[in-house]
Structure 1
Amino acid sequence: MSSSVPVAKKKQINLLRGWPSPHLLPADLLSAACQRVLADPVESVPILQYAPDEGYQPLRERLAQWLGRHFGVEPDANRICITGGASQNLACVLQSFTDPHYTRAVWMVAPCYHLAGAIFEDSGFAGRLRAAPEDDEGLDTEELERRMEAWESKEREESHPEFRKLYRHVIYVVPTCSNPSGKTLSVRRRESLVKLARKYDALVISDDVYDFLQWPIDGAVSPQWPPKMRLPRLCDIDMSLGRAENDPRGFGNTVSNGSFSKIAGPGVRTGWAEGTPAFALGLSKTGSTMSGGAPSQLCAAMLADLLRSGELESFIENKTRPALQRRHRIMMDAVKEHLEPLGVVSRESSISGEGIYGGYFVWLMLTQGPPAVLVSDAAVEEENIIIGRGNMFAVRGDEQGAKFDQDIRLCFSWEPEEALVDGVKRLGRLIKRMQGNLDHYEKLAAQIKDSDRPVSSWV
């Protein structure tokens, strides 16, 4: 029941890898910016020295202006701390603002970004990651509150480090064009989440990495952003509500974890955190930052130069976003032709009913035939395509809290456009074969399991 062409002769197509296409890396802009910032010793000497704890000040100021203009908030560089990217900063936030002896639990929107779990576990939260499920509006805040209330127990006395605050809960969310589901949290749910965090003394860590990568799905390509693409960030909602009664030092209950990885390249290893001024200052006092200075000082200077000139913003508007819009359309057209007739259900819009999509991924549900784990393993062995099986995006240690046995994730940002079509077409052929002979594949999987071989081994 294998395909007619041996898998070894088929070119591998990786629809799991969430990397930007090489064509969307602004290497020439970064090269020119590097030469400019290093040309003058007056500028280059401090750039090549240890950085201030809060980060390169020109980048903080230009980020504040750019983000303030985009989201319609008052720019304030004191709210921003430069980081080494979203993943590194997540670890620093946990080091500075949580304590596994005090912080009760980490709540992760499920399906979740699958590589974040290890970062929480490294910070002492193994066994205390909990699933917070989504619905059509994104994170179901009412269900989250029910689960948080059930998890609450005897209060513990909180200590107050000079520049820090310890939070009782952590809520991790990708609110805009979520990885992996592609969903965007509605304004109503954003406001509800911030109020919930204040009530339960929780810190919402919001990975805001796709905010600039949204587009209308009607085919129009325009750098003009409709207002519905400018949903308020959680950190801005939190600030607009003023200081909470249980937060006398003004740390707030949210932090925006931003990154240049999706808009200038993962290799620049530069990002930013934005919250209250007290939170940004406290984050800058993380021990590793105080020892070595803010990370990515050289890249921070290069990116500040590109923000000053407007070149990075122009690159995003005129190249990155239109390219992702086109890639998404290509993949969705292939899904409609080759997968939907087989009972595969896709989500067209990130924001329910708004005709907007964004990010890197599409989330599909297999309503007929084999579970996702069988499909993903057979895809490698029979068609040489790599896809994301749904259960790899379950919350580690709380897999029963939200299950995704019939779901798969496909990425449209990495492979060439023609490979997106070919990959979906191959996947369709595979699913059709498996639906026609499901017993064979289930028995094969059982034999592999009984023999203690890896499930991905179909030999």
Structure 2
Amino acid sequence: MLSMNSSVLIIKSPPPSKEINIFSNNMTTKKIIYKYNFYVGHPSLTLLPNKEIIKATTELLTPKERPFDKDPDNLHPLNYGSDLGSKWVRSNITDLINSFYHNTSLTNPEFINLTNGASYGILNILELTACPIYTKQVFIISPTYFLINDIFVDAGYSGKLCSIKETEGGSSIDFKKLLNKLEILESQGVDNNNNNNNNANHRGTKIASDQQKHIYKYIMYLIPTFSNPSGSTYSTETRIKLIEIARKYDMLIISDDVYDMLNYDTDATKIPPRIVHLDRLTIQNHQKNSTFGNSISNCTFSKLIAPGLRCGYQETATSLLATCLSKGGANHSGGSPSQLNANIIGTLITNGDFQNILQNLKRTYSERCDVMYKSILKYLPPGTLYNKQLGGYFSWCVLPDEYNCKEICEICKYEFGVLLANGNDFEVYGDENKEGWGKNSVRLSCSYLESDEIENGIRLWGEACKMYINSKHK
């Protein structure tokens, strides 16, 4: 319960919450299940396409033979896959991309490398395109997807992370800070005592089959369309400027394009092109067969079908980089890491069920976003800043200055069973990178709660705000 003490709100003890027992190694632990969980970023169970997955798997595996079973570019769905992944699946994916972005033939299968999801996809990118000894800096747009920090730390970039804030209401980034930082790093040159270039080469300039690879001097990570956590979409001008900077400074842009097809109130023709498409379009003709480009579109079907499939893809500006990503030692040894599930997804695209699943998700999430927007207007304090969510999973809400969001999130959790994602969780690691998102900001997810739960959760959040402000005025 909560008590008031000299205008300070004190949490005495958590109220009863729903708990489940977890049994492991003859020990029992308890896990709290919050009734209104706005934190999690996965679909509610009612949206998981069980029947469609069963149908596609049956269609795929029932025939004794498939036309592509012995084709080295495809292979049997239950066998080792080709390095890039089944070509017929990559062809289906390119058709999806070109149709969504109204491209005639901008993307083709040679630009696609299949993966086992966006998270492992980033590890694969870092393993094959960067080196902690040589790569000088990793720029991460802030606020950021909170789990990305650990991926970069695991890959050896602790201490090399630099936050770059979103600006102009989320349509751009702090280019001034980015360019200043790049100029400082460039002025430092190469530390010849450490033989950075040689160490980078020692890591390998070639991969399987003598395929060349390129180690980039800088890395940037962002989610440019319906961003996690802010919900922002960067303008075409911002994307073009990023490509120009990336080419000048030998920087690779890792663009997590996991939400762009979940557009609710935005016509697809109004969504800016993917960074990788702009990169490809602006490569000089004489370089198309010799350059790796400066961007990778890192994608997943977790948000578009179901996360348990653990399957995604990387799209690159040229075939050189896609091939490079597919020829790492582990991938070349085992083949495409999600061979069966990629073939199931290819079947879902072929039989039309993918589009049905996607439309159902968009319709459901759009309804939930509408409820969330109306509930925030109705229940949260005047002066709250919130834009209606137009796509993706997440949106960003900013309370007025007099409301301490971190304390209010604690009230919500312990007094009302409402779990909110405080802005502190979306900082880039490192004290020098802190932007202070936690004082007034919260990330909200539309994917997990049903519409009535969203309204009730926002209503209780409003009650927590009243409780907080009343305690301050005593």
Q: TM-score, normalised by structure 1?
A: 0.87
Other-structure match for 2:189: 154
Other-structure match for 1:183: 232
Counterpart amino acid of residue 77 in structure 1: P
RMSD across aligned positions (CA): 2.4
Structure 1 residue runs of 4+, over 6 Å off? Answer: 244-248
Instruction: Identify which of 330, 353, 362 aligns with 2:395.
Output: 362
Other-structure match for 1:54: 84
Other-structure match for 1:278: 320
Instruction: Identify which of 217, 223, 248 aligns with 1:168.
Output: 217
Native 8 Å contact 1:176 1:210 kept in 2: yes
Task: Tell me by how many angstroms 1:24 deviates.
Answer: 2.0
SS of the aligned residue for 2:96 comes to helix
Matches within 5 A, 1:10-409: 12-43=35-66, 46-73=76-103, 74=105, 75-135=107-167, 136=169, 137-152=171-186, 153-155=188-190, 157=197, 159=201, 160-161=205-206, 162-216=211-265, 225-229=267-271, 231-243=272-284, 249-275=290-316, 276-317=318-359, 319-341=360-382, 343-348=383-388, 357-398=390-431, 400-405=433-438, 406-409=440-443
Native 8 Å contact 1:131 1:398 kept in 2: no
Native 8 Å contact 1:111 1:404 kept in 2: yes
Task: Tell me by how many angstroms 1:147 deviates.
Answer: 2.7
Matched, 1:8 2:6: no
Mean Cα displacement is larger for which, 238-247 or 264-273?
Answer: 238-247
Matched, 1:438 2:472: yes
Counterpart amino acid of residue 249 in structure 1: S
Q: TM-score, normalised by structure 2?
A: 0.84
Task: Provide closer, same or farther for how the CA distance between residues 130 and 38 of structure 1 changes in structure 2, counting only shifts above 3 A.
Answer: same
SS of the aligned residue for 1:28 comes to helix
Matched, 1:417 2:440: no
Task: Tell me by how many angstroms 1:391 deviates.
Answer: 1.2
Structure 1 unpaired stretches of 5+: 218-224, 350-356, 441-459
Task: Tell me by how many angstroms 1:22 deviates.
Answer: 1.7
1 CA distance for matches of 2:274 and 2:424? 29
Task: Tell me by how many angstroms 1:9 deviates.
Answer: 6.0
| Cα deviation 1:19-56 (Å, max 9, x = unaligned) | 11222222211110001111123237811111111112
Other-structure match for 1:222: none
Number of equivalences: 423
Mean Cα displacement is larger for which, 182-191 or 156-165?
Answer: 156-165
Mean Cα displacement is larger for which, 327-336 or 369-378?
Answer: 369-378
SS of the aligned residue for 1:47 comes to coil
Task: Tell me by how many angstroms 1:196 deviates.
Answer: 1.0
Counterpart amino acid of residue 92 in structure 2: R
Other-structure match for 2:72: none
Counterpart amino acid of residue 80 in structure 1: I
Structure 2 unpaired stretches of 5+: 4-13, 19-33, 70-74, 191-195
Native 8 Å contact 2:100 2:268 kept in 1: no
SS of the aligned residue for 1:17 comes to coil
SS of the aligned residue for 1:423 comes to helix
SS of the aligned residue for 1:214 comes to coil
Task: Tell me by how many angstroms 1:381 deviates.
Answer: 1.2
1 CA distance for matches of 2:319 and 2:220? 20
SS of the aligned residue for 1:148 comes to helix
Counterpart amino acid of residue 16 in structure 1: Y
Percent same amino acid among aligned pairs? 30
